[in-house]
Amino acid sequence: MLRAWAQETFNRLPVLARDLYHSARGVGVRAVELGPEFRRWLAFLKQSQWWDAGRIRDYQDARVRELAALAYATVPFYRGWFDAAGVRPGDIRTQEDLRRLPVLTKQLVREHQGRMVSRAYRNRIWEVKRTSGTTGTSVTIPRAPEMRPLNRAIFWRHRDQFGVRPFDRMVAFAPRTAISPSRRRPPFWWNDWFTRRAWVSLAHLSEANMPAIVAWFSRFRPVMLGGWPSAMHLVATWMLENGVRLPRPPRLVSVASETLLPEVEERLARAFEAPISSMYGQAEFAGHAVRCRHGRFHLDFECCCMEQCPVPEAGPGVVSLIFTGWGNPAMPFIRYEVGDLAAPATDACPCGRQSPALLRIEGRADDAIRTPDGRRVVGLMAHLPSAREVQICQDRLDHLEIRVVPGPDYDPGQEAELIRRLRVQLGDGFAFDVVKLESIPRGPAGLRKFRAVVSEIPPSPDAPPPPPSPAEGVA
């Protein structure tokens, strides 16, 4: 991640230079998707999605046994965790046996993350990922090289249902900053020529910029749109209100990171004239699920198994999700409570897949930030490495309050860097105050996550309908 001053400098580079940079990064993605491991996984996943429930169960139990042995032998945290619970790796034979171990919380992972990395992978890390936007509680995740082709193959199996193939044109709506928010002339997007993917700047989704953005869509003709529904919703609303249609609709609109509300799905489907689907997951790669054509989230059982714990205070039929994931052996997760609620399916899915399914998934409920110059910014990211939690609250049109729960080694010096990064994402016109709290209030009963970004100002009378609020988990 670039520091704020470096990000500002990069954002002001000529368009061609930025495209060359992102295309160079795309070389690695293309290498994976042309590689034998990716092709092997994709061929396997296309077949395994149609396995019967018994075969799925046997596959998961075998992976659970392997994971228990690997974790005990190579991960210091899990060796102590197993010993404290009086459990030996050989005691874990099936998914039910995992219940002999305690639940792993995000706070435990945060406190012990250095001891949760497998010794077998300390010198074989593909990349390091940091969670930051979904819960406000940061966790550093080293990823194994084996995870990359599996992760990409899972994505492409999902897209294959809708006729989308690797290297088809795609437009992504996700919180990456590559254009200065102060820019007033197009392009408000940038390209990765090697993967044939383009990114839209979420800081420029304003009424004034929509004609240029939609006109570019019409020329680019993406086969797929992907990313944050709250961002795509802004474009869809403008298109519907102005009677604009794409000359060639995409084959798929795939959303992630936020809950897809019914009214938002309907608007996206009308504007883009394409089927809408969703992916759910975490940076930890502890659990992953994708939505089929019939609207149900099917667990990607090849990389994880799932427990469903009833949460009566959240309503009948609502469960808390606990995942055991083996897709990233560099930092595996056993009985990990992700903090999301869901409604499980109780009958067979019409699509024919027999993997465990959920009717819907709940999560965070983020608001858009309104800027004094009329823009609405979604996908805002806030990270303070030494804080336990961070929340951004907009209480006035020109003011943001940064609510911080300090960690034991909190460094106030990091606040200036965070504010500078927010200015890069938002542009000028905001004052910032940092407020220290002992805890940040959570959302509705039973929902363990809180909103990472909240707005307390009423919408303007002439503003388009607000983006969706509550959540779920593009490459």
pLDDT in tens, 60-82: 999 999 999 999 999 999 999 99
- Quick check: 248 and 352 in contact, CB under 8 A? no
Burial class (CB in 10 A: 0-12, 13-18, 19+), 250: buried
- Residue pointed to by tokens 């990607």: 300
C-alpha–C-alpha distance, residues 20 and 15, integer Å: 9
Segments in 124-273 forming alpha helices (H):
147-160, 210-220, 229-241, 262-272
Is the pLDDT at 385 greater than 80? The verdict is: no
Return the number of other C-beta atoms located less than 10 Å from residue 69's C-beta.
Answer: 13
pLDDT value at 192 more than 70: yes
pLDDT of the residue at 427: 83
- Of 125-129, 305-309, 446-450, which gets the smallest average pLDDT? 446-450
What's the mean pLDDT in 217-229? Answer: 92
Residue-level pLDDT at 28: 73
Q: What is the pLDDT of residues 163-190, one digit of tens each?
A: 999 889 999 987 766 677 777 888 888 8
**Domains of the chain by start residue, with CATH:** 369-442 (3.30.300)
Helix (H, G, I), strand (E, B) or coil at 220: helix
pLDDT at 445: 37
* pLDDT tens figures, 261-276: 777 888 899 999 999 9
Residue 38, Cβ neighbours under 10 Å: how many? 20
Band (pLDDT 50/70/90 cuts) for residue 446 is very low
* The two three-digit tokens of residue 53, written as one number: 């429930």
The secondary structure of 48-90 as a DSSP string is HTT--HHHHHHHHHHHHHHHHHHHHHH-HHHHHHHHHTT--GG
Rg (CA), the chain: 22
What's the Cα-to-Cα distance from 194 to each of 32, 197, 229, 456, rounded to whole Å?
A: 12, 8, 25, 42
Q: Can you tell me whether residue 345 is helix, strand or coil?
A: coil
| Number of other residues whose CB lies within 10 A of the CB of residue 112 | 15
How far apart are alpha carbons 465 and 200 in whole angstroms?
Answer: 20
What is the rounded CA–CA span in Å between residue 326 and residue 322? Answer: 14
pTM of the full predicted structure?
A: 0.76
Distance CA 291, CA 472 (A): 11
Provide the token pair at 326. 């083996």
From 148-152, 156-160, 359-363, 415-419, the region with the lowest mean pLDDT:
359-363
CA distance 187 to 178: 11
Q: How far is CA 185 from CA 22, 179, 363, in A?
A: 20, 11, 36
Q: Among 67-81, 162-176, 285-299, 374-388, which stretch is predicted with the lowest mean pLDDT?
A: 374-388
Q: Which range among 80-94, 137-151, 253-267, 279-293 shows the weakest confidence by mean pLDDT?
A: 253-267
Reduce the DSSP state of residue 455 to 3 states and report it.
strand
Cα-Cα-Cα-Cα dihedral sign, residues 5, 216, 473, 42: negative
Confidence (pLDDT) at 450: 55
Q: Is 136's pLDDT higher than 50?
A: no
Phi-psi region at 61: left, alpha or beta (left = phi > 0; alpha = psi -120 to 50): alpha
Per-residue pLDDT at 462: 44
Which of 116-120, 237-241, 295-299, 389-393 has the lowest average pLDDT? 389-393
Q: Is residue 470 very low, low, confident or very high in pLDDT (cuts 50, 70, 90)?
A: very low
Can you read off the two tokens belonging to residue 137?
């509680």
pLDDT at 448: 42
The pLDDT assigned to 452 comes to 72
How high does pLDDT run on average in the chain?
84
Q: Per-residue pLDDT averaged across 361-371, rounded?
A: 66
Write down the pLDDT at residue 139: 79
